[in-house]
Chains A and B, each alone.
Chain A
């Protein structure tokens, strides 16, 4: 183990420029990936905020008995998708309109008859706010005899769905592309080290070193480069995040950074990329020696 670590570290000392080059390329690959990840998690956070406002409103026919509505409300609250149900009476609707629609305050004050219908407002549980579920719940609400009309922002919900899918797909494609680039770059740098040390490897084989013994330091070297690249990419991401947040003049003051487990995942991903690159490179080289 001591020998393994020594040999792996020795390669950093023997070829410092090459090592720095490979670490920075890994860091930049992961940095780009990380920036995209940051956009994705912030977008998801923003979408969650929007999603919480997804609401279905069922307008109630005038003159529906209060008991019917109470029973129906209990019924609706028992739907598995539903988070909470609020009954808004005609008076409450008017009061809310007076309070929220300041421009029309005078118009509402002079009314003889309340024109606003009572309504049942339904909010859905997280994970049930997609277009299909919203439509299904709306259908069931329409099934109640006293329900006059059901409204929800259909287009809006569908757009949210779309946006979420697109971010997911784009993230995956870009992520995979960058991961592939990182693997190739690490592979190439390890291959350069291998060629540089071809003589040493041939001597190792000659005196009876096993292939795993020869691979060991190179794999460790790849993993170490991946680790350092991963850590460096986090530093770069954080610098980018701070710069963007502070230069945006408050527009993006609410931006969030990675959680510790997400940062861990980036570093682990870097290590895996490093290992993958060196494994491919060493495997190919050893077959040819």
Chain B
């Protein structure tokens, strides 16, 4: 589903954001991307949804080669991904349902199917009762659920979440994380950047640790036999 091979990323000011990053994520996986601020997590996230291009190396996502993506292919790639951010990125002047419907409208979905699809994802994230609430009337956890619902409404094969619990209290964090686990259980690949190590320890998902732009640890490579040993 996702493959990075020898990826380097230089910023125009000369700073090296990524150096020789290689890993792959297969169907059905849940992957944590950890590391301190500035380690390169967000740069990887941005490469995955083609917000940025690698300076060299190859980035393949859901069949698209991000390194050589034509501008008109960027929207096509993004429709096959769901993206969630720490700051939710909801439109303040639209209700929860309208924010989700917006993602369908801009991709040209048929008008008569929109309402049903919005209700389906609202049910999935447990917010049917708040469909008419504006973001300012929702708690942080609820706003993130709306953002997740928006990311899910196009039935993406991959969900990219950049610090989705960074702005949430512990209870909301647990709720959102459980929601992501449920989504993954349904078959959606999840790549989640986080520096919340408690969360990482709670689950036995694959963890890729970044430091100074490079991968310093990948549980799938460095501890390949752990799971086998445990079983």
Contact = CB atoms under 8 A, between A and B. Distances in A.
A211 interface: yes
A204 B111 contact: no
A208 B49 CA distance: 10
Interface string A208-239: 11110100000000000000000000000000
B108 interface: yes
A206 B89 contact: yes
Contact of A206 (B71, B83, B111): B83
B103 interface: yes
Nearest to B80: A208
A207 B150 contact: yes
B76 A208 contact: yes
Given A2-B111, A3-B105, A213-B108, A208 B91 contact: no
Interface in A182-205: 199-200, 202-205
B106 A204 contact: yes
Given A2-B111, A3-B105, A204-B106, A209 B75 contact: yes
B49 A206 contact: yes
B105 A203 contact: no
Quick one: which of A206, A210, A213 has the most chain B CB within 10 A?
A: A206
Contacts of A204: 102, 106
A3 B107 CA distance: 11
Contacts of B76: 208
B107 A203 contact: no
Nearest to A214: B106
Contacts of B74: 205
Interface residues of B, number: 21
B82 to A, nearest CB: 9
A3 B105 CA distance: 8
Quick one: which of A2, A208, A209, A213 has the most chain B CB within 10 A?
A: A208
Interface string B77-95: 1110001000001010000
B154 interface: yes
B91 A209 contact: no
A208 B73 CA distance: 10
B105 A208 contact: no
A268 B36 CA distance: 57
A203 B146 CA distance: 14
A208 B71 contact: no
B72 interface: yes
A207 B106 contact: yes
B113 to A, nearest CB: 14
Contacts of B107: 207-209
A76 B103 CA distance: 78
A213 B71 contact: no
A153 B107 CA distance: 71
A2 B110 CA distance: 12
B164 to A, nearest CB: 14
B75 A210 contact: yes
A208 B111 contact: no
Interface of B: 49, 71-72, 74-79, 83, 89, 91, 102-103, 105-108, 111, 150, 154
11 contacts: A2-B111, A3-B106, A205-B74, A205-B75, A207-B103, A207-B107, A208-B75, A208-B78, A208-B103, A208-B107, A211-B72
Given A207-B79, A209-B106, 10 more contacts: A200-B91, A205-B74, A206-B49, A207-B106, A207-B107, A207-B150, A207-B154, A208-B103, A210-B72, A213-B108
